[in-house]
Structure 1
Amino acid sequence: MDRQQAEERLAQLKDELNEHNHRYHVMDAPTVSDAEYDRLMRELKELEAQFPDMVTPDSPSQRVGGVPLPFFEKVEHSSLMLSLGNAFSFENLQDFDQRIRKASGRESIDYVCELKIDGLAISVRYEDGLMVRGATRGDGQTGENITSNLKTIRSLPLRLTEPITLEVRGEAFLPKREFERINEGKAEKGEALFANPRNAAAGSLRQLDPRLAAERALDLFLYGIGEIEGREIPETHTKSLEMLTRLGLKVNPDRVTVKGIDDVMDYVDYWREHRLDLGYEIDGIVIKVDDLALREQLGTTAKSPRWAIAYKFPAEEGVTILRDIAINVGRTGAITPTAILDPVTLAGTTVQRASLHNEDFIREKGIKLGDSVIVRKAGDIIPEVVEVLEQQRTGDEREYEMPTECPECDSELVRLAEEVALRCINPQCPAQTREGIIHFVSRGAMNIEGLGEKVVSQLFREGLVRGPADLYDLTEEHLLPLERMGKKSVENLLAAIEASKENSIERVLFGLGIRFVGSKGALVLARHFGDLYKIMEADQATLEEVNEVGPKMAESVVTTFDNPEVKETIRRLEEAGLNLTYKGPVAKPVEEMDTPFAGKTVVLTGTLEAMSRKDAGAQVEDLGGKVTGSVSANTDMLIAGEKAGSKLKKAQELGVRVVEEAEFLTMLEG
């Protein structure tokens, strides 16, 4: 094939594949089989490999980048991405409608009602029809450039049907089926599950490696225009959505345009009953004034448009019987009670267990075995016992007594000073040992893929593993006889165990499960000392000299490494070939840092839009700050997100500097 023929065939293949993508992912009306689609894609990639200078940004082969990003760049939105005010009742909606009618002088208002997708707000920019950038909402003015990850969403066109320049807003989300698939995989590996589809979507889009985002079948709906060049925006929101559809963008079909608030409430009622029929999560309904000129007249507040509101569905509750209380023993010996319930359906899933936290929680709620209880799925995800229905008691209910002995090893349970949890303090407790190994291999620690909870439990049950060091003695002969262990999976597991030997020291340190040493504390110690043996040799006073290491952590580290069994474990790990040194970048001493946070004590409160509080705290610490959980006279700065509560009030009373999110993001950028 000569160059001209290749150019013609490439154009034909791109058009065909883009059309098939649109029909499958946007219109839900595929016209070719998966095999035929794959054949066309292979042909495209082979031709592009022969003529690499003909590869264009809108080629279907360019959806998944091959190189992880070092970080996400900041992006300025063309216009503010405002958050919405909330309504929690029909009275709130009627008040909203009354304000609109009063301000406009109209007797009735046309509204557009849209499903409120429980996902991540995004902005996508096209120039001359070509997708050039995608970003998170961030603080509404500045977001993060996630173009590579958004390109992996197949319902998002890389080129529009017309050469138009515009910025569109929408919501990226993870379909329910994909969410369940991902969590099933995580459960098999013994990894922490995503709490809900929204967290999973946000986590996927904030992966620095787009190949990881591509593994998750994200989807999206576009719902508005932020900017448009060379063309007038239609006079109504309804028509603007129709225009987006003509441009090849995916717009939610389950929207309606209605006249008056009564029809809005009917729409809310319908979806409150039918939300579980959808293939994705929604947490409410968005109501917008349809007339764009009226929107201009109504204007916005500092944070929200006056012409739109979000009706939030209440958390779903159900009544069931608490039949029993099961006791779990964690890796630190903490005893956690779990309610065993008669099955009850909440938010489309069957709930049979709910956390009871600790003995004090059971006493405060007055919980008895056999009680009728109200169970709620907080955020439609986490089951919790809300209330005991004492009026429904029959007299057959029984008081529950917490055990005095460990259910795993029969050792006496104790309650340590200043702790609410009962604890098994037997270091030989098999439950703690098993949980400790599960923690050692987890993603946050040694990250040994394939060693999930079930596999570790099986190894423990068969007597093949009694501690972390035993993992490095495993062979094919040990693993092949185990359940669900074929030759390929055994080879992969042994390769993952071998690869873990190269981890930096902070993973080993965190994996040992030392009390009061989390992943952050492990990193602090690793950066400071650089070598595991230097940490082991340090006394308490030396450890406390390290920034962010307090007396409890220091004492726990010394006590742990004074234990002969721990010393033997370290010796065996080193003998097995594990790296015991720090491999990451060495932070400058705080006194040498020139940042707004260097040497400052910082507290974070409320909800941040641009990142989690955990990520924000990590960035503050990287810039020399010390993050604490409570406000005191020693606090230098309070970072306040949305819904900041008592900490904000206390900071204001003490005269502590309060920094809002927009200013905080500017400070991070230096």
Structure 2
Amino acid sequence: MTEIERIDQLREELHLHNYKYYVLNAPVISDQEFDKLMRELQDLEARHPEHYDSNSPSVRVGSDLNKNFTQVEHKYPMLSLGNTYSEAEVTEFYERVRKALNEDFEICCELKFDGTSISLTYEDGKLVRAVTRGDGVKGDDVTDNVKTIRSIPLVLHGEGYPAQFEIRGEILMPWESFESLNRERELREEPLFANPRNAASGTLKSQNSSVVAARKLDAYLYYLLGENLPHDGHYENLQEAARWGFKISSHMKKAHTLQEVFDFINYWDVERKNLPVATDGIVLKVNSARQQRNLGYTAKSPRWAIAYKFQAEQALTKLLKVTYQVGRTGAVTPVANLEPVQLSGTVVKRASLHNADIIASLDLHIGDSVYVEKGGEIIPKITGVDLASRPAGSEKVTFITHCPECGSPLVRYEDEAAHYCTNETACPPQIKGKIEHFISRKAMNIEGLGPETVDQFYQEGLIRDVADLYTLQAADICRLDRMGEKSADNIIQGISRSKEVPYERVLFALGIRFVGETVAKKIAKAFRSIEELANASLDDLIHVDEIGEKIAQSIRLYFANDKNQKLIRRLQEARLRFEADEEDLAGQTDKLQGKSIVISGVFLHHSRDEYKDLIEKNGGKNVGSISKKTSFILAGDNMGPSKLEKAQKLGIPIMSEDEFLALLEQE
């Protein structure tokens, strides 16, 4: 056997041993024998660099070379799931699905692993790319780091997998690895990781893949995507993926009734504490891909899946003091500073008190013993006070009257729970918060800048608003602490690239109160330039889908402010995109102008979301319920009987899928 043939043989053999050890948990050789084979492979590969393979088992050890991450656009957006916290909310989800489909369906019940999301792309049976969730549209290419995770196959075995497909899952740090890592960090007097999720996320973003290899991350895969998948069933596709070498949870189950769903939830609410990795809930998915397409998506999440979060754990600790934080909108949030307490795998020292009403309802006193829990096991909150143990003569907590940062008087607007500092232009946290929002991923996505850098630039007097970013010079940045020429160049290039960000994201980046990501998209479609938007009347704004009087008033107030007008002029001079370009406008017509349309039923040619986009592109308005103002109903198969009855009662026209598409094709 030649050395080249021996390399190929060793690679195949070691891939199989990795699979048996890390996926099946059934090793057939000792660690010493495995290490001996690996050393032989590494020696042979060093002698034959011409036979390099990026998916060789030897890449599992990682490299000491630093590597910056590049951003990659997801072929399919990585959306988050809607969360539920009660059986009643699960029932609502189940009933929504039942009514929308109007046919039999199965729910796939899965454990919700508490790690960091990853998307893996395979071509011809080999791993070619691993990308983090990022903002859901783009993520970081972390392929080299992921290749060190031994439970992720570099080369598939078996047969029947598509030539190209994507599989998504969760990268985790097992409890054992997490505790070992924190013991090591404690000995080195380094800050400890708060929980396994943070540890896994931080490790995955390390620029040194040998560090990733040493920390023994694990992965569970839970979603297969592609054009030629073996089955219509999500559960069935994952069973195939397990045969190709992927680590798929063995605890998945198909449920045919709501009671079976609850049985799964109740079992794992207790049993999850015996698992080697952290879980924080259950994921429920409609099993059929065909039915998933018919149910479609909201702007943020699929309608065919939901996450049930386990009830939060509770602990008793002492309230030491209350401090106050000022956000970018001027909202002042009280924060409880607590005696450290262990809760759901993390040490909790602080908890949000939200607003003055919450403080009053709890009747908090300094030194109180308070009950703390994590809402959805993420954000700590105080849920009650042990009045029996209240210290005599303790000080009652009362909400402050002036901004803790700039000293300005606080105001509380009618119908709002929060107190606000109205000093928008001179209150440091508001100024820095607006800049941090502006540079964030979903807004201008300026790489190289983060909260610490913004704070440093602000303290040095380099920036006082977002427009100042576009006058920064590399020479200004170089002279600062911890800033070299390369860092300065990266920041300047990131700022320059942000000038290509589309109009809808620029609108979102401005930070207009109540104008979130989805509303900004609606506004950009309705008002195709910033000038159109600035001149829009209250009535014009209210007629845009999903914009009520509250949002419309906020937009009008923003453009009535001279300082905001000046800021936009400066950003226009910096050549940011304040109007929709030809690509954004392509395919838009006014064929459905003034028409309010309800969609109901199951469709053949397009999904519901695609039809909603078509309606908006052609000037129509999507509405959720039938009324006298409804122009017509776009009806597919299995239209809900109650909607049909109401449409007939009100005399609302019903249009079939083919009739609707023919209408759009007319000149």
The equivalent of 1:438 in structure 2 is: 436
Q: Residue 174 of structure 1 aligns to a residue in which SS?
A: strand
Structure 1, residues 621-645: CA drift from partner, whole Å, max 9, x if none?
77988679999998999xxxxxxxx
Specify whether residues 528 and 314 from structure 1 end up closer, same or farther in structure 2 by C-alpha distance, changes over 3 A only.
closer
Structure 1, residues 480-514: CA drift from partner, whole Å, max 9, x if none?
23333232222211111111111112222211111
Map residues 238-277 of structure 1 onto 2, 5 A cutoff.
Answer: 250=247
Map residues 293-372 of structure 1 onto 2, 5 A cutoff.
Answer: 314-372=311-369
CA distance in 2, matches of 1:41, 1:656: 74
Specify whether residues 406 and 33 from structure 1 end up closer, same or farther in structure 2 by C-alpha distance, changes over 3 A only.
farther
- Conservation of the 8 A alpha-carbon contact between 2:272 and 2:279: no
Counterpart of 2:349, as a letter, is Q
The equivalent of 2:419 in structure 1 is: 422
Q: Residue 458 of structure 1 aligns to a residue in which SS?
A: helix
* Structure 1, unpaired ranges of 5+: 50-54, 74-85, 88-113, 133-147, 181-193, 205-215, 224-228, 230-240, 256-263, 286-309, 604-610, 638-647, 658-665
Aligned residues: 501
Counterpart of 1:511, as a letter, is A
Counterpart of 1:585, as a letter, is D
Give me the TM-score of the superposition, normalised by structure 1: 0.57
The equivalent of 1:474 in structure 2 is: 472
Q: Residue 318 of structure 2 aligns to a residue in which SS?
A: strand
Map residues 157-196 of structure 1 onto 2, 5 A cutoff.
Answer: 157=153, 172-176=169-173
Structure 1, residues 67-89: CA drift from partner, whole Å, max 9, x if none?
8565479xxxxxxxxxxxx99xx
CA distance in 2, matches of 1:39, 1:473: 55
Specify whether residues 557 and 247 from structure 1 end up closer, same or farther in structure 2 by C-alpha distance, changes over 3 A only.
closer
Matched, 1:592 2:591: yes
Structure 1, residues 167-210: CA drift from partner, whole Å, max 9, x if none?
xxx99322138999xxxxxxxxxxxxx99959x99xx9xxxxxx
- Conservation of the 8 A alpha-carbon contact between 2:153 and 2:246: yes
Specify whether residues 39 and 495 from structure 1 end up closer, same or farther in structure 2 by C-alpha distance, changes over 3 A only.
farther
Q: Residue 480 of structure 2 aligns to a residue in which SS?
A: coil
Specify whether residues 65 and 485 from structure 1 end up closer, same or farther in structure 2 by C-alpha distance, changes over 3 A only.
closer
- Conservation of the 8 A alpha-carbon contact between 2:7 and 2:41: no
Map residues 382-393 of structure 1 onto 2, 5 A cutoff.
Answer: 382-393=379-390
For residue 578 of structure 1, report the CA deviation from its aligned partner: 2.3
For residue 318 of structure 1, report the CA deviation from its aligned partner: 0.9
Specify whether residues 636 and 172 from structure 1 end up closer, same or farther in structure 2 by C-alpha distance, changes over 3 A only.
farther
For residue 591 of structure 1, report the CA deviation from its aligned partner: 6.3
- Conservation of the 8 A alpha-carbon contact between 2:322 and 2:335: yes
CA distance in 1, matches of 2:528, 2:195: 35
Specify whether residues 249 and 390 from structure 1 end up closer, same or farther in structure 2 by C-alpha distance, changes over 3 A only.
same
Q: Which of residues 560, 563, 569 is equivalent to 2:561? A: 563
CA distance in 1, matches of 2:119, 2:449: 38
Specify whether residues 69 and 314 from structure 1 end up closer, same or farther in structure 2 by C-alpha distance, changes over 3 A only.
closer
- Conservation of the 8 A alpha-carbon contact between 1:119 and 1:171: no
Q: Which of residues 391, 398, 402 is equivalent to 2:399? A: 402
Specify whether residues 160 and 328 from structure 1 end up closer, same or farther in structure 2 by C-alpha distance, changes over 3 A only.
closer
For residue 377 of structure 1, report the CA deviation from its aligned partner: 1.8
Structure 1, residues 8-40: CA drift from partner, whole Å, max 9, x if none?
688547526634754785469563779976995
Q: Residue 526 of structure 1 aligns to a residue in which SS?
A: helix
Counterpart of 2:449, as a letter, is L
- Conservation of the 8 A alpha-carbon contact between 1:544 and 1:550: yes
Matched, 1:534 2:532: yes
- Conservation of the 8 A alpha-carbon contact between 2:118 and 2:171: no
The equivalent of 1:219 in structure 2 is: 219
Structure 1, residues 543-589: CA drift from partner, whole Å, max 9, x if none?
34434433333332232223222222122222223232224533766
The equivalent of 1:455 in structure 2 is: 453
- Conservation of the 8 A alpha-carbon contact between 1:446 and 1:503: yes
CA distance in 2, matches of 1:123, 1:466: 39
CA distance in 1, matches of 2:537, 2:429: 30
Q: Residue 592 of structure 1 aligns to a residue in which SS?
A: coil
Q: Residue 339 of structure 2 aligns to a residue in which SS?
A: strand
Structure 1, residues 595-650: CA drift from partner, whole Å, max 9, x if none?
xx9834799xxxxxxx9x9999999977988679999998999xxxxxxxxxx9xx
Give me the TM-score of the superposition, normalised by structure 2: 0.57
The equivalent of 1:495 in structure 2 is: 493
Q: Residue 578 of structure 1 aligns to a residue in which SS?
A: coil
Root-mean-square deviation over aligned CA pairs: 6.4
- Conservation of the 8 A alpha-carbon contact between 1:602 and 1:636: no
CA distance in 2, matches of 1:478, 1:65: 26
Specify whether residues 158 and 370 from structure 1 end up closer, same or farther in structure 2 by C-alpha distance, changes over 3 A only.
same
Specify whether residues 633 and 156 from structure 1 end up closer, same or farther in structure 2 by C-alpha distance, changes over 3 A only.
farther
The equivalent of 2:637 in structure 1 is: none
Map residues 605-616 of structure 1 onto 2, 5 A cutoff.
Answer: none
Specify whether residues 66 and 115 from structure 1 end up closer, same or farther in structure 2 by C-alpha distance, changes over 3 A only.
closer
CA distance in 2, matches of 1:118, 1:493: 33
Q: Residue 516 of structure 1 aligns to a residue in which SS?
A: coil
- Conservation of the 8 A alpha-carbon contact between 2:172 and 2:196: no
Q: Residue 572 of structure 1 aligns to a residue in which SS?
A: helix
CA distance in 1, matches of 2:442, 2:44: 39
Counterpart of 1:435, as a letter, is G
- Conservation of the 8 A alpha-carbon contact between 1:440 and 1:512: yes
For residue 272 of structure 1, report the CA deviation from its aligned partner: 6.6
CA distance in 2, matches of 1:491, 1:273: 48
Counterpart of 2:505, as a letter, is R
CA distance in 1, matches of 2:539, 2:545: 12
Percent identity, aligned pairs only?
A: 35
- Conservation of the 8 A alpha-carbon contact between 1:536 and 1:561: yes
* Structure 2, unpaired ranges of 5+: 61-68, 79-85, 88-109, 128-140, 179-193, 205-215, 224-229, 231-238, 253-263, 284-306, 601-606, 633-639, 649-656, 662-667
The equivalent of 1:465 in structure 2 is: 463
For residue 321 of structure 1, report the CA deviation from its aligned partner: 0.7
CA distance in 2, matches of 1:541, 1:585: 25
CA distance in 2, matches of 1:45, 1:592: 61
For residue 534 of structure 1, report the CA deviation from its aligned partner: 2.8
Specify whether residues 587 and 349 from structure 1 end up closer, same or farther in structure 2 by C-alpha distance, changes over 3 A only.
farther
Specify whether residues 8 and 279 from structure 1 end up closer, same or farther in structure 2 by C-alpha distance, changes over 3 A only.
same
